[in-house]
Amino acid sequence: MAFSRQEEFLATGRRNQKQRTREAILDSATRLARAGQTPSITEVAKDAKVSTATAYRYFPNPESLWADVGVRYGPAVKEVAADLPEDAEDRIDVMIRTLMEGQFADEAVWRAVVRASIDRWFQQVDVPEDERLPVRGPNRLEGTRAALAPLERELPPELFERLTMAVVLVWGADALIVTRDSCGLEP
């Protein structure tokens, strides 16, 4: 799934250098978010010690930058899913607890990712559906399905899908915000 439409750019020419530049930009965005900022592309470029024009070649807007910051943390879902216990209840507990600990530890980064996804949605309201960039990635859904996999054999398909969608609603960056802001709970 492409978020920033930069795959072709990154795959041509000096690929290693482009990858290092991209990583420097993502590192800077993450560092600035952890410091409590929601930086612009220009501010991220300055921190990464690249020109603003260079940063815009990698990320044409802040939403694409923050989407890629979120994707950067995505492999954790696959890593956690690869080592889950057998019991479905234990599996969902391990999946959610492990990933949420990381999100609570980087709360500012994940708030920035949520903000960018909301901004991306608003920017694409008038864009035809088939031309829109994804607002969110599939990590939370994939993680939930992996954790609940033992129940797929036991439940009717429609009930398994309903359970999956219900569990997706109660974890992730959105749930982090509700937990902290609406409920006033500590991580």
pTM above 0.85, yes or no: no
Q: Quick check: 148 and 129 in contact, CB under 8 A?
A: no
Judge whether residue 5 has pLDDT over 70.
no
Judge whether residue 6 has pLDDT over 70.
no
Rounded CA gap, 47 and 44, in Å? 5
Rounded CA gap, 3 and 59, in Å? 10
The predicted-structure confidence for 78-134, as pLDDT tens digits, reads as follows 888 889 999 999 999 999 999 898 889 889 888 988 888 888 889 889 999 888 877
Rounded CA gap, 80 and 61, in Å? 31
- What is the sign of the dihedral through the CA atoms of 79, 133, 7 and 62? negative
